[in-house]
Amino acid sequence: MSSDTHIVAYVQEGEFDVVLNGSEEQVVVVDFTASWCGPCRLIAPLMEQLAEEYKGRAKVVKVDVDSNKPIFKQFGLRSIPAVLFFKDGVLAETIVGVSPYEQFTNAVDKLL
């Protein structure tokens, strides 16, 4: 296990299903983001914190919408940041926009 400060990795479209269904963790949190998106930068540290706090229980990943438009469209998303919460590969909750950290932890806690 690397102790890199950025524990939230980017995943590409090809890896997406594997992450959702092949993770040891039942809960997967996906942060849809883009480099040009200011609000996305505000929740980036929250995603890192979430990954740290729920290590071993929930997996947190990011998807760059610019290079993965099909996934973005697949979930009917129109704006970012959008954070999607999956349990056992099934979408359980979506939080769009900048939200307080508690809203993200509450969403994870409900699924654990």
Measured in degrees and rounded to the nearest 5, phi and psi for residue 20 equal -65, -40
Active site residues: 37, 40
Please tell me whether residue 66 adopts helix, strand or coil conformation.
coil
Q: Contact at 8 Å (CB) between 111 and 87?
A: yes
Say how far apart CA 77 and CA 90 lie, in whole Å. 16
